[in-house]
Structure 1
Amino acid sequence: MTKPEFRVLPNAAEIASAVAAHIAQTLKAKPATTLGLATGNTFVPIYAALIDLYRQNGFSFAEAASFNLDEYVGLPKNHPASFRAYMRQRLFDHVDLPAERAMLPETEGDLAADCAAYEAAIAARGGIDLQLLGIGRNGHIGFNEPGSPFDSRTRVVELAQSTIEANKGDFPPGELPPSSAVTMGIGTIVDAREIVLVATGANKAAALTRAFNAPKDVDCPASALQDHPHVIIYCDPAALPA
């Protein structure tokens, strides 16, 4: 079991600044960095802080590439709750990352072939250098729900009801999130050279405890990170594991 490095900061605003600085430093050190990106409320202030640094500090995304963790199956690409729309609004439209290298899983057509192509595209870039992650209350990472194999690759998954409920607020009133998504697999995630996991609030403490202070268990997908040699966790005091 590899112990992650915890960087504990007082609140979400300070965490956002620290994670943005971490990403910016990575891009300065290696302009052709391949980023693994995440969505969700946790990352809204992080991307805002990253855009601010981009405008101020003279680093560039022009040689970089990004691969998002996941996308819903069945949503039009321009749907306001799609992760494509989220990424355009929160990051892509504000930095110089080339559109052809800002990649998300395809969710229409031959999904099995598209998943294999996504894995191949990551491999063609030499793998992911820095993977951003959140953690669900049930320990999911990406959309890898409890029970996901630790060696899983990009694939179609059915979403847990708790995940659907947690994401309802991102959709127009009366519209439920889709019941399935395409996600990077746990095996894909742990192949990244560095993992930066962000968690805030007391409602994430139990998941972090199961992930890092208990034996590995497929019922807590994030516990697969115990095998990774370079995990950094940015969290507030409330989220610290017991």
Structure 2
Amino acid sequence: MRVIRCKDYHDMSRKAANIISAQVILKPDAILGLATGSSPIGTYQQLIDWYKKGDIDFSQVHTYNLDEYRGLTYEDPQSYHYFMRKNFFDSVNIDLANTHVPDGADSDIEHACTSYDAMVKAAGYVDLQLLGIGRNGHIGFNEPDEVFSKGTHCVDLTPSTIEANSRLFDSPDQVPRQAYTMGIQTIMHARRIILVASGTEKAQAVKDMIYGPVTPKVPASILQLHTNCTVVADAAALSLCPNS
């Protein structure tokens, strides 16, 4: 696991965007795994800026997002599909037919999960997976558990995750209690992984991810076993790590 130490959120976002843009430039038809939440927004903004300057072309790129709230349609302003369009897709020249997000409106859990897994597998898995990390060490919506998950599955969100995501809703009561999320095994199939982290509230999770034991109690700790994983984090997120 490689760690890139950054000065602040802006520096973190630019360095992560550098890695993603290099992937797309070297392989114009790259398959990207994308994440939502506040951590990657700056990375998407930087990629949009470079696209507008003519430095990067997304016309052949395919994307697969990690997760979606169960019960929300693509058009719902709180859905992650809507989030991706607002924060990235609508501002670059990506073909929306090549973008994929779990179908939160599919009430059939087994169908929603197996169909998404089939799509990711048929694509050959992703070239580069962008991840954030939750305060409890979750990646995607893979919450602390007794075992590492495999394929896409439906999860009950923990109180800490609901609280963290409530800033995007009018009240915590409006945050969905379940989500469809890509499993740990699927994430680990990515040929390269980039995890971004910012802020002191992520410091313990980052320390546990990098230096703690590999355990499903800290889902992100599995990344220690990936052959090509880079953590891009600011000083605050690395404040509990050695030599920070």
Question: 1:133 — aligned with what?
Answer: 131
Residue 16 (structure 1) aligned with residue 19 (structure 2)? no
Runs (5+) with no aligned partner, structure 2? none
> Match of 2:204, SS?
helix
For 1:148 and 1:54, the matched residues in 2 are separated by 42
The answer to whether the Cα contact below 8 Å between 1:38 and 1:69 also exists between their aligned partners in 2 is yes
1:148 Cα deviation (Å)? 5.9
- Could you tell me which runs of 5 or more consecutive residues in structure 1 were left unpaired when the two chains were aligned: none
1:197 aligned partner? 195
Give the 3-state SS of the residue equivalent to 1:197 in structure 2.
strand
Aligned equivalent of 1:145: 143
Choose the corresponding residue for 2:154, options 150, 153, 156. Answer: 156
Alpha carbons of structure 1 residues 117 and 228: separation in structure 2 relative to 1, 3 Å? same
Kindly state the Cα deviation for residue 175 of structure 1 after the two structures are TM-superposed. 4.5
Instruction: For 1:37-76, list aligned pairs within 5 A.
Output: 37-76=34-73
1:37 is displaced (CA, Å) by: 0.3
Post-superposition Cα deviations, 1:36-74, rounded to whole Å, max 9, x if no partner, equal 000111111111111001111342111110000000011
Q: Which amino acid aligns with 1:94?
A: S
Q: Distance in 2 between matches of 1:195 and 1:57?
A: 25
- Matched residue type, 2:76: H
2:163 to 162, 165, 179: 165
Measured after TM superposition, the shift of residue 151 of structure 1 is 4.4
Per the alignment, residue 88 of structure 2 pairs with 91
Aligned residue number for residue 28 of structure 1 = 25
SS at match of 2:78: coil
What is the aligned partner in structure 1 of residue 183 from structure 2?
185
Taking the aligned partners of 2:28 and 2:222, their CA distance within structure 1 comes to 29
Cα offset for 1:94?
1.1
Instruction: Name the SS of the counterpart of 1:8 in structure 2.
Output: strand
Aligned residue pair count: 239
Paired position in structure 1 for 2:236: 238
Instruction: Check whether the contact 2:126–2:189 (CA below 8 A) recurs between aligned residues.
Output: yes
Between stretches 27-36 and 77-86, larger displacement belongs to 77-86
Partners of 1:35 and 1:128 within 8 A in 2: yes
Partners of 2:7 and 2:172 lie apart in 1 by 36
Match for residue 80 of structure 1 among 77, 80, 100: 77
SS at match of 1:196: strand
Is the contact made by 1:73 and 1:181 (CA closer than 8 Å) also made in structure 2? yes
> Closer, same or farther in 2 for the Cα pair 1:144/1:174, shift >3 Å?
closer
Q: Distance in 2 between matches of 1:116 and 1:60?
A: 31
Percentage identity across paired residues of the two chains? 40
TM-score by length of 1: 0.94
Partner of 2:121: 123
Q: Is the 8 A contact 1:36 1:130 kept in 2?
A: yes
* CA distance in 2: counterparts of 1:59 and 1:46, whole angstroms: 14
Output the CA distance in 1 between the equivalents of 2:2 and 2:168.
31
Contact 1:149 1:186 in 2 (8 A): no
Residue 105 of structure 1: aligned partner: 102
CA contact (8 A) 1:211 1:220 kept: yes
Q: 2 CA distance for matches of 1:5 and 1:87?
A: 27
Q: What letter is aligned with 2:25?
A: K
Superposition TM-score, scaled by structure 2 size:
0.94
Residues 13/148 of structure 1: CA separation in 2 closer, same or farther (3 Å cut): farther
Whole-Å separation in 2 of the counterparts to 1:24 and 1:89: 20
Partner of 2:174: helix, strand, or coil?
coil
Aligned equivalents of 1:28, 1:167: Cα separation in 2: 33
What's the offset of the Cα at 1:109?
3.6
- Give yes or no for the alignment of 1:212 onto 2:196: no
Given that 2:153 and 2:182 are in contact with CA atoms closer than 8 Å, whether structure 1 keeps it comes out as yes
Secondary structure, counterpart of 1:118 in structure 2 = helix
- Return the offset for 1:210: 1.2
